[in-house]
C-alpha cells in the first residue's frame, strides 16, 4: 500500500524528546502500591536485555511472566486469557495479522499484570481500537501493550528526524511489527510537534490523544468529517475551545486520515501555524 499525498506545506521534523530521558523525570503510571508479581514493561525489557525492536519477542516475554501463548482460531474475540495461580494461558487468534497478534498477546499480558485473580478475559478487536481514553481495565491493558511493544527509548531512537506523518507511522509500524493505530498514538504522544490523533466512527468522535505541546484548551468536536486524503482544513472544522480557556482556534490545520476498520478512521491533525493565546 502506498500513501498518496497531495501538495501540502513542508512538515516539521519530529523533535525527539531525548532530553527527557536524562534531564526530566518521566512520571510513571506504575507508581504506588503494586502486587509483588507486577512488572512494568520497562522492567521486563530491562531484565530480558532488549536493545532492538527485533528483540521484543512477545512469546518469550510472556513465558518470563508465567504465561504461555497459543495460536488458535477464535470466534467473537481476538484473544483470551485464563489464569490459575501463578500460571496463565493466552490464546490469540491465529487468523489475525502478525501486528494484531502481537498487540493482542501484549494486551492480555497487561491484564495478567493488572487484573490477575479477578476474572478470565476475552477481548475483541473493538476494545483494542476503542479503549484509549476511558480509565478502565481495557485501557490499562492497551497502555501496557503499547509500552511493551513500543518502548519509549527504542521508539524515540527509531523516530528521530522522521516527519510527523502517516507515512512515518507506517514505517515505524513495520519496524516494530505493531498496528498502525498503536504506532500512531505512540508517535503523537511522544512528539514535540503540535498534533492530535482522532479516532472517529461514522463521523462521530470516539477518542483523541494529543502531543504534549498541544494546549489543554483545545478539544476535538463530537461530530467530525475525516475525508479520504491529506488536505488542509480550517481549524474550526475539527476543533473547539474548552469553556473558560484562552486559546484561539488555528486558522488552518493539516488533516491526514486513514481507515483502520470498516467503520473506524484515525485522523492525524497537525498545526500549520503555532497556536495563539488570547
**Is 19 domain-assigned?**
no
264 pairs with which residues across the strands? 201, 261
**Is 230 domain-assigned?**
yes
**Is 6 domain-assigned?**
no
Residue 125's pLDDT band, with cuts at 50, 70 and 90, is low
Domain identity same for 186 and 210: no
Domain identity same for 174 and 50: yes
**Is 264 domain-assigned?**
yes
Domain identity same for 65 and 105: yes
d(CA 189, CA 17): 11
From the number of C-beta atoms within 10 Å of its C-beta (0-12, 13-18, 19+), residue 247 rates as: middle
Query: Could you list the residue range(s) of the whole structural domain that residue 199 is in?
Result: 194-278
Of 131, 156, 190, the domain-final residue = 190
pLDDT tens-digit readout, 136-148: 688 889 999 999 9
**What is the rounded (10 degree) CA torsion for 28, 86, 104, 78?**
-140
Domain identity same for 245 and 184: no
Angstrom distances, CA of residue 266 to CA of 27, 208, 251, 260, 277: 27, 9, 22, 7, 28
Domain identity same for 168 and 216: no
Domain identity same for 101 and 153: yes
**Is 8 domain-assigned?**
no
10: Cβ–Cβ under 8 A, 6 or more apart, which residues?
Answer: none
Q: What's the grid cell of residue 268?
A: 492525524
Residue with cell 487468534: 93
Per the CB < 8 A criterion, the answer to whether 103 and 134 are in contact is no
Domain identity same for 225 and 121: no
Per the CB < 8 A criterion, the answer to whether 204 and 223 are in contact is yes
d(CA 182, CA 192): 18
Of 123, 157, 190, the domain-final residue = 190
Instruction: Kindly write down the DSSP assignment for every residue of 136-201, as one continuous string.
Output: SHHHHHHHHHHHHHS-HHHHHHHHTT-BSSHHHHHHHHHHHT--HHHHHHHHHHT-SS-EEEEEEE
Domain identity same for 258 and 169: no
pLDDT tens-digit readout, 143-178: 999 999 999 999 999 998 899 998 999 999 999 999
**Is 28 domain-assigned?**
no
Domain identity same for 96 and 227: no
Smallest CA-to-CA distance from 225 within 202, 258, 197 is with 202
Per the CB < 8 A criterion, the answer to whether 11 and 256 are in contact is no
Q: What's the grid cell of residue 22?
A: 536524562
Domain count, the chain: 2
Domain identity same for 169 and 273: no
| Phi, psi dihedrals of residue 241, rounded to the nearest 5° | -80, 145
**Is 4 domain-assigned?**
no
Residue 67's pLDDT band, with cuts at 50, 70 and 90, is very high
Given CA atoms 24, 29, 34, 38 in this order, what sign does their dihedral have?
A: negative
Per the CB < 8 A criterion, the answer to whether 12 and 193 are in contact is yes
Per-residue confidence (pLDDT) for residue 123, from 0 to 100: 61
Higher-confidence residue of 178 and 272: namely 178
Domain identity same for 40 and 151: yes
Per the CB < 8 A criterion, the answer to whether 120 and 83 are in contact is yes
Domain identity same for 133 and 242: no
User: Mapping DSSP to helix (H, G, I), strand (E, B) and coil, where does residue 143 land?
Assistant: helix
Of 190, 218, 242, the domain-final residue = 190
Neighbours of 231 (CB within 10 A): 15
Pairing of strands 87-93, 67-72: parallel
**Is 167 domain-assigned?**
yes
Least confident of 95-99, 203-207, 236-240, 273-277: 273-277
pLDDT exceeds 80 at position 257: yes
Amino acid at each position: 500500500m502506498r500513501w498518496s499525498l497531495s501538495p501540502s506545506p513542508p512538515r516539521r521534523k519530529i523533535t525527539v524528546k531525548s532530553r527527557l530521558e536524562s534531564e526530566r523525570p518521566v512520571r510513571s503510571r506504575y507508581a504506588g502500591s503494586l502486587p509483588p508479581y507486577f512488572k512494568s514493561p520497562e522492567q521486563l525489557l530491562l531484565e530480558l536485555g532488549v536493545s532492538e525492536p527485533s528483540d521484543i519477542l512477545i512469546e518469550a516475554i510472556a513465558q518470563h511472566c508465567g504465561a504461555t501463548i497459543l495460536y488458535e482460531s477464535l470466534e467473537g474475540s481476538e484473544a483470551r486469557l485464563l489464569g490459575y495461580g501463578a500460571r496463565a494461558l493466552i490464546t490469540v487468534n491465529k487468523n489475525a495479522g502478525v501486528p494484531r497478534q502481537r498487540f493482542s498477546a501484549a494486551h492480555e499480558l497487561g491484564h495478567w499484570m493488572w487484573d490477575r485473580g479477578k476474572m478470565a478475559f476475552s477481548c475483541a478487536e473493538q476494545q483494542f481500537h476503542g479503549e484509549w481514553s476511558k480509565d478502565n481495565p481495557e485501557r490499562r491493558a492497551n497502555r501496557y501493550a503499547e509500552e511493551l511493544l513500543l518502548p519509549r527509548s527504542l521508539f524515540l531512537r527509531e523516530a528521530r528526524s522522521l516527519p510527523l506523518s502517516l507515512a512515518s507511522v507506517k514505517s515505524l509500524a513495520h519496524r516494530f511489527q505493531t498496528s498502525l493505530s498503536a504506532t500512531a498514538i505512540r508517535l503523537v504522544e511522544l512528539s514535540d510537534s503540535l498534533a492530535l490523533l482522532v479516532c472517529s466512527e461514522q463521523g462521530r468522535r470516539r477518542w483523541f490523544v494529543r502531543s504534549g505541546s498541544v494546549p489543554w484548551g483545545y478539544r476535538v468536536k463530537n461530530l467530525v468529517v475525516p475525508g479520504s486524503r491529506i488536505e488542509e482544513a480550517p481549524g474550526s472544522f475539527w476543533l473547539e475551545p474548552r469553556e473558560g480557556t484562552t486559546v484561539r482556534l488555528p486558522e488552518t490545520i493539516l488533516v491526514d486520515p486513514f481507515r483502520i476498520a470498516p467503520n473506524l478512521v484515525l485522523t492525524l491533525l497537525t498545526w500549520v501555524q503555532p497556536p495563539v493565546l488570547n
